[in-house]
Amino acid sequence: MLMRHHALRQPRPARRWLFLWAMALLIFSPCALAITGELDLTSSTTGFLALGIFILAYALVMAEEKIHMRKSKPVLVAAGIIWGLIGWVYVQNGLSETSEYAFRMTLLEFTELMLFLLVAMTYINAMEERRVFDALRSWMLRKGFNYRTLFWLTGGLAFFLSPIADNLTTALLMCAVITKVAEGDKRFINLACINIVVAANAGGAFSPFGDITTLMVWQAGIIPFQEFFILFVPALVNFLLPATIMSLVIKDQKPASVYEEVIMKRGARRIIALFLLTITTAVLCHTLLDLPPVLGMMTGLGYLQFFGFYLRKSLPKSLARKREIYSREGDNKKLAQLGSVVPFDVFNRVARAEWDTLLFFYGVVMCVGGLGFMGYLGLLSEALYSGWNPTWANVVLGVVSAVVDNIPVMFAVLTMQPAMSDGQWLLITLTAGVGGSLLSIGSAAGVAVMGQARGSYTFMGHLRWTPVILLGYVASILVHLWLNAASFG
């Protein structure tokens, strides 16, 4: 997607992930998604129609909670119509090969990222099936923390887990703890859920694996893997400042104790280790071999498949051995649990991936790519990055991501290819990542937590604390501008 800009800065082959072998390296070499069509359709009836269709589709996406229609549906249809309109116009002008090439480039961009995300989601689902997250929740419940400790613990874990487990999964896990421990205390649940959403989004902003937007920037080859981590302190400020203010109104009381014992299923710890090995493989493919990181992720899926095969084959012997041990010890509870153990199947985990999210991402990528091909992103880039200072443009786009999902915002910026320093690219990564925290509907984590803590964590409950969250947003930007000033050169 952004290989042209990267190529200007780095003469050797771009170390990007998610591009297919030699052909993809050529295809996605700087120009892939920055393609602008030979025909300027921005002032045409076709262009206006396409723009209107995209706006309508996105209005339906934003109304997902009200109309109960999955967000992937409208953008999938919109993508088909937009590219259909482009194809028709280009066929009429004898330029069908140009539109076909642009569509293929846009599709390949999505495919690479989808495979990366699919592997990550499969590992997360595998750990969920092996009860890793249930065990973590159980541990926190048994400790009997007071409200203030629970507020900081769930927020802190959300911040440090989201760079690895993604902000959505982390937010849901921490929300499950809060709603169970503080059941009935809507005021505390609302406050704790706000903290979790802010922390999860902030934690995801400084890691290439923490959020789709950071993944997109790393994929584009603009920022090296290790450079994302200079956003750690700004992201930490974004979490800590509003959390500190919110914690002042939490009553110093202890919830009723909740006892829940969860035993992880066989192989859980080894799957965690394989996930870390997979991430390491992806990073090494990118940094040492100049190969797309998706190669490492798909190899990691192979690790999981082999391990799943081992778990299935060795299950009978393992069950027989454990039955003998538990019978000798007289542990009837563990004997009963053995009856529920089923063989691990990696393909069941793939099937449980967030397909609505992946298809939504496809629709957004294709819609934005089509509008960019028509020339609209060129106009937007000119207005934002030529008419404004890049810093202000990136700050404003971060606020916009609280209303419009950060995926199309980041994808649009990447497709525009504005000439910016690494510091500015990190700034838009930060603002797009944490800007969604300003509203409960501004991020996938916020929307998911609203569904899980329905009635306790609400849009208006979050909105009352938006000024405090905005304070953290501004502070994180200022810290980045000051602390990482050298990257703006």
Burial class (CB in 10 A: 0-12, 13-18, 19+), 348: middle
Question: Can you say whether the dihedral through the CA atoms of 298, 304, 310, 313 is positive or negative?
Answer: negative
Per-residue pLDDT of the chain (489 residues; tens, 9 = 90+): 333 333 333 333 332 222 222 222 222 333 334 456 678 888 899 999 999 998 898 788 777 667 778 878 898 999 999 999 999 999 999 888 888 888 888 887 777 777 877 887 788 788 888 888 778 777 777 777 788 888 999 999 999 988 876 677 788 778 877 887 777 788 899 999 999 999 999 998 888 877 777 877 887 778 888 888 899 999 999 999 999 999 999 887 776 656 667 778 888 889 989 988 998 898 788 778 877 778 888 999 999 989 988 888 887 787 777 777 767 766 666 655 554 556 667 677 666 666 777 787 788 778 888 888 888 877 776 777 777 888 898 898 888 877 766 776 777 788 777 888 888 999 999 998 899 889 887 777 887 787 777 778 887 888 899 999 999 999 999 999 999 998 887
How many residues can be counted in the chain? Answer: 489
Per-residue CA distances from 19 to 108, 170, 220, 281, 355 (Å)? 8, 28, 9, 16, 21
Q: Does residue 339 sit in helix, strand or coil?
A: coil
Identify the DSSP state of 388: S
The most distant pair of C-alpha atoms in the chain lies apart, rounded to whole Å, by 81
Contacts of 59 (CB under 8 A, 6+ apart): none
Euclidean distance between CA atoms 37 and 101, whole angstroms = 10
Tokens of 475: 């502070």
Contacts of 222 (CB under 8 A, 6+ apart): 2, 5, 6, 414, 422, 425
Residue 131, phi-psi category: left (phi > 0), alpha (psi -120 to 50), beta (remainder): left
Euclidean distance between CA atoms 11 and 18, whole angstroms = 20
Euclidean distance between CA atoms 363 and 483, whole angstroms = 37
Euclidean distance between CA atoms 208 and 283, whole angstroms = 10
